[in-house]
Amino acid sequence: QQPVQSPQAVILREGEDAVINCSSSKALYSVHWYRQKHGEAPVFLMILLKGGEQKGHEKISASFNEKKQQSSLYLTASQLSYSGTYFCGTQGYGGATNKLIFGTGTLLAVQP
């Protein structure tokens, strides 16, 4: 079952903050976050692992609550370049497949 993302869409002015949530009904080993620009492929932002470890390559932060099977992505002081659709991808336990189940996405529009 796909994880549920909220909100579905958000409009911001430059400099404002946003939080995107991802909730799963299954126990999670890790959560990935991706951003997709219109007409392009998704691009990896960050991975959050069981135990609280975070690994990413952009100045965007996130949290992972293993007990609640939830993750949140924090976008602070948003820039125009943050616009796009954000997806969480969840990895459960069982089998060494690394397969991800993605949420339905959150459309973020940052306006000048």
CA nearest to 11, candidates 84, 72, 60, 63: 84
Which of 10, 105, 108, 110: binder of other proteins (CB under 8 A)?
A: 105
Exposure b/e, 52-63, CB count within 10 A at least 16 = b: eeeeeeeebebe
Provide, rounded to whole angstroms, the least separation between the CB of residue 39 and other proteins.
9
Q: Any contact of residue 101 with other proteins (CB under 8 A)?
A: yes
Q: Any contact of residue 98 with other proteins (CB under 8 A)?
A: yes
Task: Say how far apart CA 63 and CA 7 lie, in whole Å.
Answer: 16
CA nearest to 84, candidates 68, 107, 67: 107
Interface mask (CB under 8 A) for other proteins, residues 5-44, using x and -?
Answer: x--------------------------x-x-----xxxxx
The two beta strands, 18-23 and 4-6, are: antiparallel
Number of residues engaging other proteins in binding (CB under 8 A)? 25
Q: Any contact of residue 94 with other proteins (CB under 8 A)?
A: no
Residues that bind other proteins (CB under 8 A): 2, 5, 32, 34, 40-45, 47, 55-56, 87, 89, 96-105
